[in-house]
Amino acid sequence: MKGFLWSLCTGLLLSMAWPVSGYFPLVFIAWIPLLKAEADLNSPNKTQPVFYMYAFAAMLVWNILTTWWIKNASFGGAILAITANSLLMAMILYLFHFVKVKKGPVTGYIAFIAFWISFEYIHLQWDITWPWLTLGNVFAGHIEIIQWYEFTGVFGGSLWVLGLNLFIFLLIQHWQERILRKKLSILISVLIVFPIMLSLAIYKSYEEVHNPMQVVIVQPNIDPYTEKFDNMTSAEQLHKMFALTQGFINSTTDYLICPETAIVDYIVEDRPEESEDLKIIDSLLHQHKRLNILIGASTLKFFKPNEPLSVTARSYGNGNEYYDSYNTALQTDTSGQLQFYHKSKLVPGVEKMPWPGVFKYFERFAIDLGGISGSLGMQKDRVAFFTANKKFAAAPIICYESVYGSYVGDYVKKGANFLAIITNDGWWGDTPGYKQHLKYGAIRAIETRRCIVRSANTGISAIINQKGEIKQFTAWWEEAVITGTINVNNKITFYTRFGDYIPLFTSIISIVLLFSLFLKSYTKLKTPF
């Protein structure tokens, strides 16, 4: 019973530290109760399955208290996602316990950090991706102390959290050993003070290079449940958005940014001249010759006869013809050039059935959110949207993609000098969900040193500078327009250049540890005496 109480403390402390209203210093001690529960098992040479239950209880509390708002989109989906994520997290923690029992405390605690960060990295890559609770996200509301993320990315924050928890725990465990206590106290002090002081120094001294671009951002506030896909035509929604921008767009405006799926009627990508919505957009562009419009759309691609099919291809007609459906960002200007980007970090269970090549026939069970459900098509590479004069280049980031650090960095490597996040956060209601989404996006500004223009159908639209400061923003559930100036930046940060090197390093450590365990077990089987 005591072990379960300790584990519940870990879940509560992690939740109480979490954005948007949490007290972040709690995260530096949040893992200590669970480490205490594991240490109290006192199980030399024999693993204790009960630790899996301790870990599951801690992770379940954390997941429920921080991501309960998923239920507003789907109650059943929320139960499945929260339970599955908690089970996965508990499995990683039990693996740490297993290594500690078999290899001893030193190797075990190395495994604790290495396994967890490697798990966070895997959670960015596979088809059941859910990076919302990556530990480095906990500082999203306090960007002044994580300016060094431009060197490490969000995984530097995860390493910071886990390392401090471990060393504080060891300090408590060995308090009676004077020399060790002194060494650990010094180490902990340095690990707390140095990153914060370094960050504050960067925060105070960082200055954006003057390279201005004029933007207008529209938030139309169209209800995704009752209006967007049912009771308003695509043309009506466009007219509403453009009416809101009247008086804000002028001869100096470089970009108009509109939200995800602002165009709900499907555009056939190789037949854009058939789209009435694009004709409405063209009429606005003819009034403002300098303007570029970046907007979310639903688009289709039809496969030609004998063309290789994607795993997400859908049949139509007599069943021998196929197409892909996309959640798309597109950019256009007065030249008539259209640039397309297809959202590729898709929401599991809504926009994508995990491992569609295997579970393709289960996609009819996907959660239906307004007609863009099922396994959508994706594209392999990121692209940047360039203006005709090549002066400005947008990273077209669609909704959920803004939570992925190195993924966003790939846009920058392709030439993007500012980030454009288009989203529809209305699915979650007035909950911490859309606020967390905004704050997580601000971390990308630090990692890449790119300004962000963020257009939400509803939620929070904003302008964020290169230090991650939210300079202008809208309120929840209101029609609004933001106009402002950002500075574009062409320099590449250390993190953008080298990506997620921290989890790659921990993954190597994890593989070595697991291989050594396998080798030891195999050797015992081969030599029973």
> 142-178 burial, b if ≥16 CB within 10 A, otherwise e?
ebebbbbbbebbbbbbbbbbbebbbbbbbbebeeeee
Are 100 and 107 in contact by the 8 Å Cβ rule? The answer is yes
163 with 229, same domain: the answer is no
Tokens 């993190």 locate to 495
520 and 398 in a single domain? The answer is: no
Write down the residue that tokens 């499907």 correspond to.
266
User: Does some domain include residue 347?
Assistant: no
> Bridge partners of 352?
348
**CATH code for the domain in which residue 398 is found:** 3.60.110.10
Q: What's the domain count of the chain?
A: 2
pLDDT confidence of residue 372: 47
Give the pLDDT confidence score for residue 365 in this predicted structure: 46
- The reported pLDDT for the residue numbered 50 is 94
Instruction: Find out whether 113 and 159 touch, Cβ atoms under 8 Å.
Output: yes
Q: 161 and 77: one domain? A: yes
SS3 455: strand
Which helix (H) or strand (E) covers residue 119, if one does?
helix 105-125
The structure tokens listed for 517 are 């365990």
Contacts of 522 (CB under 8 A, 6+ apart): none
Assigned domain for 145 exists: yes
Query: Which strands, in side-by-side order, build the sheet including 418-423?
Result: 385-386, 393-398, 418-423, 452-456, 462-464, 470-473
Same domain, 231 and 104: no
Q: Are 80 and 128 in contact (CB under 8 A)?
A: no
139 contacts 196 by C-beta, under 8 angstroms: no
| Residues 233 and 372 sit within 8 Å (Cβ to Cβ) | no
Our measurement of the distance from residue 102's CA atom to the centroid of its chain's CA atoms, rounded to an integer in Å, reads: 35
DSSP secondary structure letter of residue 474: P
173 and 49 part of one domain:
yes
Query: Which of the 8 DSSP states describes residue 352?
Result: B
Residue 304 counted as domain residue: no
**CB proximity list for 498: less than 8 A, separation 6 or greater:** none
Phi, psi (rounded to 5 degrees) for 135: -60, -35
pLDDT at 483: 98
Whether residue 20 has a cis bond before it, omega within 30° of 0: yes
Locate 1 and state its tokens. Answer: 């019973």
What element of type H or E holds 433? helix 432-448
Phi/psi for 330 (5° steps) reads: -130, 150
Contact 55, 20 (CB under 8 A): no
Say yes or no: 146 and 282 in one domain: no
Please list the rounded mean pLDDT of every run of 10 residues in the chain (529 residues). Answer: 93 97 97 96 82 97 96 86 95 96 94 98 91 97 98 98 98 95 97 98 97 98 89 94 96 97 95 96 94 97 91 84 95 93 88 64 47 73 96 96 96 98 91 95 98 95 98 95 98 97 97 87 59
**pTM for this predicted structure:** 0.93
Which residue blocks in 231-380 are alpha helix, DSSP H? 234-244, 276-285, 356-359
Q: Which pLDDT score is estimated for 47? A: 81
For residues 149 and 285, membership in a common domain is answered with: no
Residues 438 and 465 in one domain: yes
Does residue 314 sit within a domain? no
365 falls within a domain: no
Q: Is residue 301 one of the residues assigned to a domain?
A: no
Q: Which amino acid is at 82?
A: I
The helix, strand and coil proportions of the chain, stated in percent and rounded to the nearest 5, come to 50, 15, 35
Q: Domain containing 431: what range?
A: 212-296+331-338+380-493
**482 and 510 co-located in one domain:** no
> Does 406 share its domain with 472?
yes
Task: Give the whole-angstrom CA distance, residue 232 versus residue 507.
Answer: 49
pLDDT confidence of residue 528: 53
Burial (0-12, 13-18, 19+ Cβ within 10 Å), 28: buried
Range 467-475, long-range pairs (CB < 8 A, 24+ positions): 467/143, 467/147, 467/203, 467/206, 468/143, 468/147, 468/442, 468/443, 469/143, 469/442, 470/438, 470/442, 473/438, 474/219
Tell me whether residue 322 is in a domain: no
Q: Are residues 140 and 283 in the same domain?
A: no
Flag whether 6 is in a domain. yes
Burial of residue 517 (CB within 10 Å: 0-12, 13-18, 19+) is: middle
Place of tokens 């799926």: 261
d(CA 109, CA 111): 5
| Cα–Cα distance measured from residue 272 to residue 278, given in angstroms and rounded to the nearest whole number | 7
CB 249 within 8 A of CB 242: no
- Give yes or no: residues 122 and 216 share one domain: no
